[in-house]
Structure 1
Amino acid sequence: FNNLVFFSTALSVDEMMVRFFGRASLKQYLHCKPDRYGIKLWGLCAANGYLFNLDVYCGKNDPSIGINLLACALGSRVVLQMINPLLNGLSRKKLSDYHLYFDNFFTSPDLLIHLHKCGLRSTGTVRKDRVKEKHEFAKNACGITPITPVKRFSRAAQERVELGFPRAFSLYNNYMGWVDLHDFRCKKASPSITSKKWTFKIFSRIIESSITNNTVIDAA
């Protein structure tokens, strides 16, 4: 996957879960995923669900982590590891054409500043309880205009009302869910063979991702 050129300028980083109920130190629990118990994977996907990079979560103190990333937060470390082939393979001028999307687990001021210095645009969400001070931004990578009208349900009015979405919100909603799409397609291609060995589950996911990527290329 890493040897293929990054043909999509819209990229997203997110987590995936491989269903696994056996015994393994890598097993995780995520309440927000359809498969809540299993092995957590990090993925970097294009806007059509093509997987460019994949990594297995081995814990916060993973010995394979480079010494330069040990001081980084886990979310920032994951993003930098996922996009390392992109940063090393393209010049700063070409990196400016790419835009990276990630959710509040990965977002941090240090990460955004570092990506900006590298020439890579990025957009992420932030949790309310993680913002100690309010700041006003003149602009971001996406910008505010044009405002897109969308309809959302209002509890106060008990009906769907029209709201104005800034351009940054619209682009984030359009490009953030592609890792989940790849994960969904992999489950459709999942073999019926079951195993209590976590190594087999990881091997199966690599095969599933390869099949899913091939279907994406054929559809294009």
Structure 2
Amino acid sequence: GFTPITSTMSLNKFEKIRQNIHFNDNLEFIPRNEAGHDRLYKIRPIIENLNSKFKSIPLERYLSIDEQMCSTKVRHYMKQYMPMKPHKWGFKFFVLAGISGFAYNFEIYSGQENLIQPDNEPNLGVTSNIVLRLSRIIPRNKNYRLYHDNYYTALPLMVHLAKEGIFSLGTIRRNRLPNCKLPTEKAMKEEKRGCSHEFVTTVDGVDISSLVWKDNKYVTLISSFAGTYPQALVKRYDRKNKTTIEVQCPFVVQEYNRHMGGVDLLDSHMGRYKILIKSRKWYMRLFYHLIDLSMVNAWLLYKRVQNNRGSDSRKVLEQAKFRAEVAHCLCKANVTTTKRGRPSSIEDKIQMKKKKGPAQHVPPQDIRKDQL
């Protein structure tokens, strides 16, 4: 086997630890039908510890919220089906990430998140409440900008975040825009590609801009800080003429495309070197996923520190080498080297041979025997 690993731990010992490892006291587990039951009790200490560490890192200015999938074939009632994800079955995560892909806060979907609602937070619905919970760590009135897709976006959410001092932007479903003044898809069907229509209104003292833009499909966005201008030209492929054309792109669309991909970038980093150990225990699959998440966060933090120091980018470790260095250090930590072979039963009885000193001059025989 690979010597640095085999000298640290045998396969049997690793399997024994994996069979018996627990992260919480099962004697204090509250049954499912009783009050106070926690569906994530078995792994709750790991979740809380990691979240507390991630929250201590200074936030980036541009943040996004999106779903993440922990793929698994384990049979469990918390598994979700997401047809648009590469891995369609698994445990669903909601993640607050920066533009670099660093995860600052996360929660695992269990269906119990809305049972406890703080008094200082409004109940804006199941999906909007996810944004409220994850954005609690964002400092108020510090020019932070939050991006999310149409699964979360609603007009009351945008207004509440703006009042809290957090700028937000997201795509939105038409049925979540009451009294929408924007033209319908049918009305825009004859218009050219790249055309857009904007409607600005004030809700509870907050200026909200809503916009519809025609690309391959129609996309509707609302924002509390961005609008149509300044526009830019973007390249698109024209199937009819089989050539590349330039179309007008509103500023709000540019902002969304530029800063929304933090969680997707995190997924990309995690997917390259993720742990592939199989387990029938549902919480072990979550544990492996959280290890991968922690490793990617550590690597991104290492890159941030090196960049702030002005280090040569060519000398900054890639993720694979960084993980190898971390693994090497963990294998060497608090490890005593063991002797190969069976120990001897009489080893303690064997006396070490005394070293001889330097040779001395021997006196003549008559002097040795004169008894003086």
TM-score (structure 2 length as normaliser): 0.53
CA contact 2:155–2:177 (8 Å) conserved in 1: no
1:103 aligns to what?
149
Letter of the 1:145 counterpart? Y
CA contact 1:189–1:212 (8 Å) conserved in 2: no
- In structure 1, stretches of 5+ residues that fail to align are none
CA contact 2:114–2:126 (8 Å) conserved in 1: no
1:120 aligns to what?
166
Judged with a 3 Å threshold, the aligned counterparts in structure 2 of structure 1 residues 213 and 196 are, in CA distance, closer, same or farther, namely same
Q: Are residue 58 (structure 1) and residue 106 (structure 2) matched?
A: no
- In structure 2, stretches of 5+ residues that fail to align are 1-53, 182-198, 202-208, 210-223, 305-372
CA contact 1:189–1:211 (8 Å) conserved in 2: no
Letter of the 2:286 counterpart? I
Letter of the 1:65 counterpart? I
Instruction: State the alpha-carbon separation in 2 of the partners of residues 213 and 32 from structure 1.
Output: 25
Alpha-carbon distance, 1:20 to partner: 1.1
2:71 aligns to what?
19
Letter of the 1:50 counterpart? F
Residue deviations 1:1-22 (CA, integer Å, cap 9, x gap): 012221x100000000000111
2:135 aligns to what?
83
- Of 140-149 and 165-174, deviating more is 140-149
Return the match for 2:236 from 142, 145, 152. 152
Alpha-carbon distance, 1:172 to partner: 0.5
Matches within 5 A, 1:67-216: 68=119, 71-86=123-138, 90=139, 92-94=140-142, 97-131=143-177, 133-135=179-181, 136-137=199-200, 139=209, 140-216=224-300
Alpha-carbon distance, 1:43 to partner: 0.3
Equivalent position SS for 2:274: coil
Letter of the 1:80 counterpart? L
Larger radius of gyration: 2
2:61 aligns to what?
9
Judged with a 3 Å threshold, the aligned counterparts in structure 2 of structure 1 residues 153 and 191 are, in CA distance, closer, same or farther, namely same
Residue deviations 1:149-172 (CA, integer Å, cap 9, x gap): 101234554543211111111110
Instruction: State the alpha-carbon separation in 2 of the partners of residues 211 and 112 from structure 1.
Output: 33
Letter of the 1:184 counterpart? S
Judged with a 3 Å threshold, the aligned counterparts in structure 2 of structure 1 residues 130 and 157 are, in CA distance, closer, same or farther, namely farther
Residue deviations 1:67-107 (CA, integer Å, cap 9, x gap): 55684312111101111122xxx3x432xx10000000000
- Of 13-22 and 154-163, deviating more is 154-163
Judged with a 3 Å threshold, the aligned counterparts in structure 2 of structure 1 residues 186 and 106 are, in CA distance, closer, same or farther, namely same
Instruction: State the alpha-carbon separation in 2 of the partners of residues 207 and 64 from structure 1.
Output: 28
Structure number with greater CO (CA < 8 Å, separation at least 6) is: 1
Instruction: State the alpha-carbon separation in 2 of the partners of residues 184 and 194 from structure 1.
Output: 21
Residue deviations 1:39-62 (CA, integer Å, cap 9, x gap): 000000001001100110012x44
How many pairs does the alignment contain? 212
Alpha-carbon distance, 1:37 to partner: 0.4
RMSD over aligned CA atoms reads 2.0
Moved segments of 4+, more than 6 Å: none
